[in-house]
């Protein structure tokens, strides 16, 4: 199981018998079809590397991935692309550029939804790729604390840093649900007019999410919901 430092460990017991797991010195029994979830994130307990949990009757091996080895951590989000994936490309083009598959966690919607999110297979630091009509990468959402833009903006960055980085190309509008804002990067160049980067902030004036994408999808406040 490949996991990221910022994630919680989630183990669902899909076997026919209860599973015993020892975590942080505490033994837990996970009933059939039940789910074990850690209180904190992986980095509270484990570092990068391979770890075998004390578990019975099944073996559980965690591979805590080094984020600095992964393209979406090393490379910043840009206006039109992130890493090898270009906004507006097809799923097939994105997979070819990645050299890997995009997978859909909500499998019941695969092939039958106008909008769904996909992630790079086996990459716990994958951003979320908004796929429209099963074919087009319309938007890419940051999902990890290590994700950043070319100007260094990341989750938790202050509003003032966003404004200082992007200046007069930012349009400000009220957040739909909290006492925060949407800070939308609207390019000056006509060639980039179809693209946006949107930063959501909270009442503490901190970035809580950001995404690039085509103008319409980039501004959908609830993603595919």
H/E/C letters for each residue in 152-196? CCCCCCEHHHHHHHHHHHEEEEECCCCCCEEEEECCCCHHHCCEE
Report the percent of the chain where pLDDT is more than 70.
96
- CA angle, corner 178, sides to 164 and 77, nearest 5? 40
Q: Within a 10 A sphere around the Cβ of 95, how many other Cβ atoms?
A: 17
- Reference 176, options 219, 145, 136; nearest CA is 219
Token pair listed for 48: 């990068």
d(CA 70, CA 74): 6
Q: pTM for this structure?
A: 0.90
Quick: pLDDT tens for 112-135: 568 999 999 999 999 999 999 999
Q: What is the pLDDT of residue 106?
A: 64
For the chain, residues with pLDDT lower than 70 are 106-113
d(CA 81, CA 88): 9
H-type alpha helices, the chain: 71-74, 91-98, 159-166, 215-218
CA torsion 194-215-200-120 (nearest 10°) is -90
Q: What is the pLDDT of residue 105?
A: 85
Quick: pLDDT tens for 45-70: 999 999 999 999 999 999 999 999 99
Architecture of the 69-218 domain: Sandwich (2.60)
Q: What is the pLDDT of residue 113?
A: 66
d(CA 54, CA 50): 13
- Reference 31, options 45, 14, 47; nearest CA is 14
Report the percent of the chain where pLDDT is more than 90.
94
Tell me the helices (H) and strands (E) count for the chain, helix number first.
4, 17
d(CA 194, CA 135): 18
Q: Where are the domains of the chain?
A: 2-65, 69-218
């Amino acid at each position: 199981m490949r996991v990221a430092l910022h994630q919680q460990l989630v183990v669902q017991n899909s076997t026919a018998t209860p599973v015993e797991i020892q975590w942080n010195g505490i033994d837990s029994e996970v009933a059939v079809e039940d789910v074990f979830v850690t209180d904190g994130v992986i980095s509270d307990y484990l570092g990068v590397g391979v770890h075998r949990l004390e578990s019975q009757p099944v073996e559980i091996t965690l591979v805590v991935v080094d984020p600095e080895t992964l393209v979406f951590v090393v490379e910043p989000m840009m206006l039109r692309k992130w890493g090898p994936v270009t906004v507006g490309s097809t799923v097939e083009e994105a997979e070819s550029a990645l050299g890997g598959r995009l997978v859909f966690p909500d499998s019941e919607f695969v092939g039958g939804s106008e909008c769904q999110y996909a992630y790079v297979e086996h990459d716990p630091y994958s951003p979320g790729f908004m796929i429209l009509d099963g074919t087009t990468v319309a938007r890419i959402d940051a999902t990890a604390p290590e994700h950043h833009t070319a100007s260094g903006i990341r989750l938790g960055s202050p509003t003032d840093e966003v404004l200082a980085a992007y200046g007069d190309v930012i349009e400000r509008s009220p957040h739909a649900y909290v006492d925060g804002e949407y800070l939308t990067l609207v390019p000056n160049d006509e060639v980039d007019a179809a693209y946006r980067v949107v930063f959501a902030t909270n009442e503490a004036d901190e970035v809580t999410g950001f995404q690039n994408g085509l103008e319409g999808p980039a501004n959908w406040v609830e993603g595919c919901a």
